[in-house]
Structure 1
Amino acid sequence: MQIYEGKTAFRGIAEGKIKVYRKDQQQIKREHAENTQEELLRFERAKGEALRQLTGLYEKALKEVGEANAAIFEVHQMMLEDPDYVESITNMIRTQKVNAAYAVASTGDNFSQMFSMMEDDYMRERAADIRDISERLVGILAGRTGSQMELTEPVILVADDLAPSETVQLDKDKVLAFVTVHGSSNSHTAILARTMNIPALFRVNIPLDDTVDGKEGIVDGYHGRIYLEPEPRVREELEARQAEERRKQELLWQLKGKENVTLDGRRIEIYANIGSFGDVAAVLQNDAGGIGLFRSEFLYLESEDYPSEEEQFQVYKKVAESMAGRKVIIRTLDIGADKQVGYFQMEPEENPALGYRAIRICLDRPEIFKTQLRAIYRASAYGTVSIMYPMIISVEEVDRIAEIVGEVQEELKQQQIPFGDVEQGIMIETPAAALISDLLAKKVDFFSIGTNDLVQYTLASDRQNPKLEQICDPHHPAILRLIRLIADNAHREGIWVGICGELGADLTLTETFLNMGIDELSVSPGLVLSVRKKVRETKLGEKYN
């Protein structure tokens, strides 16, 4: 028996035969091109075919994993048509008189290396995307068609890394688990794996050869291990754990329809976080009481231009109608930092996490903000819709938002367009907002605490930097004190307060949050029933000290 350890991207246990996926080593030779025009034409044809393939992948992913996760293939299309990338390839063909495949491969290597050297974690992840689109182009130029990864039986898939396009082409019924040598928990492949509920490990130092291929294995996603030809004792232990997890899940399903009430009678709302209309099915399936965070920025990230009022309205309306009266809280546009949109034409920043993002963009570009607000207000006539505004740091910002909202309401009234009674809330995710939450509470209907950003801003530590995992501690006393302060200030003014960051699903803190007076927790749809179970087992005591 051999044991290989790594990091967990998605928990779970999978047992079966191991399949090592080795990408074709595309040996690209530099060849002199007598006819550069012909090579340029071949490149343009290959680019067109690649765009067609990516459109097909987007449509396939849309059906299987929803809009938010399918968006990577639209990103790939944009990268494929990026002027710098295209110009580098065509210029190399013209000036160096080389074959198109060599120009693509060289440009891909150069751009990938540039991205991998960037300090920002998100931008480093784009190196894999550049490699993916370049390999696709080279494959088309070489005459290869179809998927290179056809599976004939259920397997544990082991690879150096998996590009999103490779992952989405897989027959999901035949993949028991993913194990990769490289990658990260923030890569698109890891996100897709979590969405598909496929156990996944990354940074596993496992050989990609015949010593592994075809052998029996067990992936333990709870402890970040893969066992090669496991001993009977280990197999029995993990199979027992797997059976126990299935039993727990079956018990959780029995909680559907039950109330979120503590042993001593206190009710708490448990909502779900979503990124697209495609996620609503999971919200309903897991019996969430509403949507506590609709990340509207994905409408912008998935578009090649500013989404129109009508386009946004149709999406918000569908979500509101599908939730059938349950609350839908839409967060206004939150781009910037690691979520860049090319057509916004924003200048590069030294520290984008502390820069021009979220509400700062909206207040600086009110025409964009008003378009979104009009769409949300129109959709509010079809359900129970609330709005919350991200990255607030001052009372003045909230006052300015109220002025713009008033203008939008007046416009809709004059045009005789119906709209509902829309709750106004803000996200508390900066230390500034937390410390003046007593003043902010007088201005709004609710608070939603964004713990992901609150943690990194309070502890001055980038939550995506793996070197800072121990420092970026969401259980830090400073974080818990701020959450209690926010809750106390909210209740003094008679407004409710929720948590929509990942900390809301931390079951070790559920009792603490309830004792602080938190009224609502918004978590990933698949975690709703686990949080409900914890709430129903909790008896409240003295408030957290």
Structure 2
Amino acid sequence: MYTFAGVPASKGIVIGPVEQIDHGTTGLHRIVCDPFRERALYDVAVVLAKDELRRLSQRAKGPDADILLFQIALLEDESFTNEIGDYIAAGAGGAAAVERAEQIFAGRLSNVDDEYIRERSVDVCDVCRRVVDILDGRPRRRLHLKRPSILVADRFFPSDLFSLDRRMILGLASNQDSTVSHAAIMARSMGIPAVVQLGDGVAALAAGHRAILDASDNGTATLVIEPDGAHVAQADCKIAQSRLHGRTPDPVAALPCLTKDGTAFRLLAATNASSDPEEPLPQGAAGIGLLRTESIILDDIPEDAQFERLQEKLQCSDGAMIAVRTCDTNADDDSPWTAEMRKRLQGHRLFWPQIKALLRAAPYGDLRVLFPMIAGVEDWDTCLQEVDTCREELRREGHEITPPPFGCIVDMPSAALLAGELIEHGAQMLAIDIEDLTRYTLALVQDSDAAVSRVDNPAVQRLVKEVVQQAKAHGVEVYLCGITIESISRIPVYLHLGVRTFSVEPAALLPLKKLLMEETLEQSETDSGSEA
């Protein structure tokens, strides 16, 4: 048994077999040709490398895609190309020239004071290694995990992890990486344990053995290779007390959603369309009450790709509700991309791919579609006309469509006051965006921070009460969304006004549940009855 101490990069504890990512040794058996041929071979290698990176980027998301785009940009950088070209012209081989450029450009980043920028030097090493592998004729086969394993490496390159089935990764252990390396960031986003800075030679020593990766403590983390029975038993106890991927379960998550006097309520999660379709629901969530889709428009995702994402998310939801908020032309959020959003959303035609994808995906799960920024009945009717147009297009393409329930995001005071009319015109559910409704009601459109602290304003409460009463009178589902961790202390008042379902950002879900479980509604129900 060998125990090595490192730095925890992502909390958790796992036991499993160890697989090593070995970057090997370059430079063996090279034959240097004349400079013209070496330059031609280098140019071809760059084309192949960029093609590989583009294929990887099509499957990557968020920061992962940004890293791959950075690598492509580096290969197109004039100073980088000139550095290599000059060295080849001086008589060096193409592979050696790339390795020299790697040392120069990665060295510049490594000397920067900012630790995060220093860690980006690994991206330079990663893309240069890819080009060198092509020039050396080395196979670029990635590791195929046949069983869930702990991955070890001297240092992880971004491309090491992109092509792996992330469900097969139990944890990451690195000799050199830091807590702000790509591997550490990815581990935290995946919710798997990771330990870094184990020291030279540890990865090679652990390869092929069984190990315990323990990053459950804040200060230290260990990799125990070939642990004895006592260590395994101790690790099993820790794992038994924690959830999958090392998350400690909150006992409140398993309790029923009931107030002190037994009134039931329901909690839904809020998320973004760019999130991993296979990511499980947060603890205690009964479904997704708000799936935002701005990224669909910003990234110009075509209809078929949208459909595939939605289909996968619905199939992974095990029947749980998913309410999708369509993107709106008014781009009501004060985000940096608002101007870009408005530019791209000129005319309803740009919405059709999204609506058609939603219509096609509906049979695969409990899908609901929510239209935001509805000022009144005319806006609502226009949305339904767009749906009819898309449905007719799909029918001509040979698709038989059964539309999902359509609902309205109540984010404007006029929509709250006209809730009854919207329902009579076909709105099958109402989702009250409490933050946006507060912003528009109290003239705080440009100050979302102030809005969060006033979501329980009496004027907002009156609007919410009107929506709840109209929904109840028409037998339509209504719930509160737009709830953040900063606003949860002000949300219980809406439980007393008749709201029974709340859509919350994941970090706020259990804290809100604890607050609502402490409420007693007998008095508020009596007051409501006397008012009626």
TM bucket (normalised to shorter chain) is 0.5 to 0.7
How far apart are the structure 2 equivalents of 1:44 and 1:401? 59
Verify: 1:540 aligned to 2:519, yes or no.
Answer: yes
How far apart are the structure 2 equivalents of 1:445 and 1:299? 21
Q: Is the 8 A contact 2:284 2:510 kept in 1?
A: no
Verify: 1:520 aligned to 2:502, yes or no.
Answer: yes
Verify: 1:132 aligned to 2:115, yes or no.
Answer: no
Match of 1:472 in 2: none
How far apart are the structure 2 equivalents of 1:378 and 1:173? 27
Match of 2:475 in 1: none
Match of 2:82 in 1: 91
- The code of the aligned residue for 2:268 comes to I
Alpha-carbon shift at residue 273 of structure 1 (Å) = 3.0
Match of 2:474 in 1: none
Verify: 1:356 aligned to 2:347, yes or no.
Answer: no
Q: Is the 8 A contact 1:43 1:100 kept in 2?
A: yes
Stretches of structure 2 that go unaligned for 5 or more consecutive residues are 393-400, 419-429, 437-445, 469-478, 522-532
SS in 1 for 2:467: coil
Verify: 1:425 aligned to 2:423, yes or no.
Answer: no
Alpha-carbon shift at residue 424 of structure 1 (Å) = 3.8
Equivalent residue for 1:446, pick from 428, 432, 438: 432
Alpha-carbon shift at residue 4 of structure 1 (Å) = 3.6
Q: Is the 8 A contact 1:29 1:102 kept in 2?
A: no
How far apart are the structure 2 equivalents of 1:112 and 1:80? 12
How far apart are the structure 1 equivalents of 2:162 and 2:23? 16
- The code of the aligned residue for 1:266 comes to A
Q: 1:441-468 CA distances to partner (integer Å, 9 max, x unpaired)?
A: 6699521669xxxxxx9999xxxxxxxx
Q: Is the 8 A contact 1:13 1:220 kept in 2?
A: yes
Q: 1:149-187 CA distances to partner (integer Å, 9 max, x unpaired)?
A: 688998644445423321245687985421344354694
SS in 2 for 1:208: coil
Alpha-carbon shift at residue 315 of structure 1 (Å) = 4.8
Q: Is the 8 A contact 1:373 1:408 kept in 2?
A: no
Q: 1:370 to 1:297 in 2, by over 3 A?
A: same
Q: Is the 8 A contact 1:490 1:497 kept in 2?
A: no
Equivalent residue for 1:270, pick from 264, 268, 271: 268
Equivalent residue for 1:226, pick from 221, 230, 235: 221
How far apart are the structure 2 equivalents of 1:355 and 1:119? 30
Q: Is the 8 A contact 1:308 1:371 kept in 2?
A: no
Q: 1:211 to 1:413 in 2, by over 3 A?
A: closer
Q: 1:449 to 1:43 in 2, by over 3 A?
A: farther
Q: 1:280-339 CA distances to partner (integer Å, 9 max, x unpaired)?
A: 6845x99954333435355467x6xx33456546655776798779342236399x9xxx
**More deviation in 515-524 or 96-105?**
515-524
Q: 1:233-252 CA distances to partner (integer Å, 9 max, x unpaired)?
A: 87655432222336999x98
Verify: 1:365 aligned to 2:347, yes or no.
Answer: no
Match of 1:12 in 2: 12
How far apart are the structure 2 equivalents of 1:136 and 1:273? 35
How far apart are the structure 2 equivalents of 1:371 and 1:122? 38
1:167-206, aligned counterparts within 5 Å?
Answer: 167-168=161-162, 176-180=170-174, 181-184=176-179, 187=182, 190-191=185-186, 194-195=189-190, 198-201=192-195, 204-206=196-198
Q: Is the 8 A contact 2:266 2:502 kept in 1?
A: yes
How far apart are the structure 2 equivalents of 1:410 and 1:459? 32
- The code of the aligned residue for 2:263 comes to G
Q: Is the 8 A contact 1:313 1:379 kept in 2?
A: yes
How far apart are the structure 1 equivalents of 2:275 and 2:113? 33
Q: Is the 8 A contact 2:267 2:502 kept in 1?
A: yes
Verify: 1:207 aligned to 2:184, yes or no.
Answer: no
Percent of aligned pairs with the same residue?
17
- The code of the aligned residue for 2:407 comes to E
Verify: 1:494 aligned to 2:467, yes or no.
Answer: yes
How far apart are the structure 2 equivalents of 1:297 and 1:120? 32
1:235-384, aligned counterparts within 5 Å?
Answer: 237-245=234-242, 260-263=257-260, 264-271=262-269, 273=271, 275=273, 279=277, 282=280, 289-296=286-293, 299=296, 306-309=300-303, 311-312=305-306, 315-316=309-310, 326-330=321-325, 332=327, 356-357=336-337, 359-367=338-346, 370-372=349-351, 375-376=354-355, 379=358, 382=362, 384=367
Q: Is the 8 A contact 2:489 2:515 kept in 1?
A: no
Q: 1:208-246 CA distances to partner (integer Å, 9 max, x unpaired)?
A: 225993498643333243235589987655432222336
How far apart are the structure 2 equivalents of 1:538 and 1:188? 39
1:386-405, aligned counterparts within 5 Å?
Answer: 386-387=369-370, 398=373
How far apart are the structure 1 equivalents of 2:145 and 2:316? 37
Q: 1:44-89 CA distances to partner (integer Å, 9 max, x unpaired)?
A: 3323443565577679xx6xxxx647x93x6566445438735445
Q: Is the 8 A contact 2:286 2:320 kept in 1?
A: no
Q: Is the 8 A contact 1:89 1:104 kept in 2?
A: no
Q: 1:234 to 1:164 in 2, by over 3 A?
A: same
How far apart are the structure 1 equivalents of 2:307 and 2:368? 12
Q: 1:481 to 1:6 in 2, by over 3 A?
A: farther
How far apart are the structure 1 equivalents of 2:245 and 2:184? 27
How far apart are the structure 2 equivalents of 1:211 and 1:327? 42
How far apart are the structure 2 equivalents of 1:7 and 1:441? 49
How far apart are the structure 1 equivalents of 2:74 and 2:244? 53
Match of 2:43 in 1: 44
Across the aligned residues of Structure 1 and Structure 2, the Cα RMSD in angstroms comes to 6.1
Alpha-carbon shift at residue 132 of structure 1 (Å) = 2.0
Alpha-carbon shift at residue 105 of structure 1 (Å) = 3.8
- The code of the aligned residue for 1:213 comes to L
Q: 1:108-164 CA distances to partner (integer Å, 9 max, x unpaired)?
A: 556657778999999887654443222211222222214576889986444454233
Q: 1:319 to 1:210 in 2, by over 3 A?
A: closer
TM-score, normalised via structure 2 length: 0.61
Q: Is the 8 A contact 1:320 1:384 kept in 2?
A: yes
- The code of the aligned residue for 1:540 comes to E
Q: Is the 8 A contact 2:293 2:324 kept in 1?
A: no
TM-score, normalised via structure 1 length: 0.60
Q: Is the 8 A contact 2:111 2:118 kept in 1?
A: yes
Match of 1:468 in 2: none
Q: Is the 8 A contact 2:171 2:213 kept in 1?
A: yes
Equivalent residue for 1:164, pick from 134, 155, 158: 158
Q: 1:362-411 CA distances to partner (integer Å, 9 max, x unpaired)?
A: 2243238751366237735846433476xxxxxxxx58999988766555
Stretches of structure 1 that go unaligned for 5 or more consecutive residues are 337-352, 390-397, 428-436, 451-456, 461-477
Alpha-carbon shift at residue 267 of structure 1 (Å) = 0.8
Q: Is the 8 A contact 2:288 2:503 kept in 1?
A: no
How far apart are the structure 2 equivalents of 1:479 and 1:5? 44
- The code of the aligned residue for 2:264 comes to R
User: Between Structure 1 and Structure 2, whose CA radius of gyration is higher?
Assistant: 2
- The code of the aligned residue for 2:215 comes to G
Q: 1:289 to 1:360 in 2, by over 3 A?
A: farther
How far apart are the structure 1 equivalents of 2:40 and 2:199? 41
SS in 2 for 1:239: helix
Alpha-carbon shift at residue 42 of structure 1 (Å) = 1.5
